[in-house]
């Protein structure tokens, strides 16, 4: 079965270190997204990609970067981790409604990565 996986599931790091969170999907979806989830804020969009070599900034992109070298993967990098980046991170993917014929893109979420920055 197709799926979307994230690794690691839990990570503890120190302020100033570079951290990369992995996201891998086997849906063959063009669209991929990274969100962070914080109490009282719901999910906020960090970065997104609509295809290979395409990346875009979301609502809370400062301090984060992504790259898309293939369809399956969208790694999220924290260039210099800060305590404010302690959060739960979710990756998601979707097939474009233009391709699927649906009127709405349904996003499929990974299980999340809990990141703690000390």
Q: Does 94 bind another protein (CB under 8 A)?
A: yes
Q: Does 64 bind another protein (CB under 8 A)?
A: no
The answer to whether 77 touches 55, Cβ cutoff 8 Å, is: no
C-beta atoms surrounding 28 within 10 Å: 10
Of positions 7, 22, 27, 58, contacts another protein by CB under 8 A: 58
Of positions 97, 99, 100, 118, contacts another protein by CB under 8 A: 97
As measured in angstroms, the least distance from the Cβ of 16 to another protein is 29
What SS3 class is residue 75?
Answer: coil
Beta strands in the chain (DSSP E): 4-7, 10-13, 19-25, 31-38, 42-51, 54-57, 64-66, 76-78, 87-94, 108-109, 113-117
78 vs 92, which CB is nearer to another protein? 92
Of positions 41, 67, 84, 99, contacts another protein by CB under 8 A: 41
Q: Does 31 bind another protein (CB under 8 A)?
A: yes
What SS3 class is residue 30?
Answer: coil
Residues that bind another protein (CB under 8 A): 31, 33, 40-45, 48, 50, 58, 90, 92, 94, 96-97, 102-112
């Amino acid at each position: 079965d197709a799926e979307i996986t994230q690794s690691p599931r839990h990570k503890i790091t120190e302020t100033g270190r570079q951290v990369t969170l992995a996201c891998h999907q086997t849906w063959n979806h063009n669209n991929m997204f990274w969100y962070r989830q914080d109490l009282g804020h719901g999910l906020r969009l960090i970065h997104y990609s609509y295809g290979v070599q395409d990346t875009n900034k979301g609502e809370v992109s400062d301090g984060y970067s992504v790259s898309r070298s293939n369809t399956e993967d969208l790694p999220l990098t924290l260039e210099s981790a800060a305590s404010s980046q302690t959060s739960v991170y979710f990756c998601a993917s979707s097939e474009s409604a233009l391709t699927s014929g649906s009127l709405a893109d349904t996003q499929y979420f990974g299980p999340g990565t809990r990141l703690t920055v000390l």
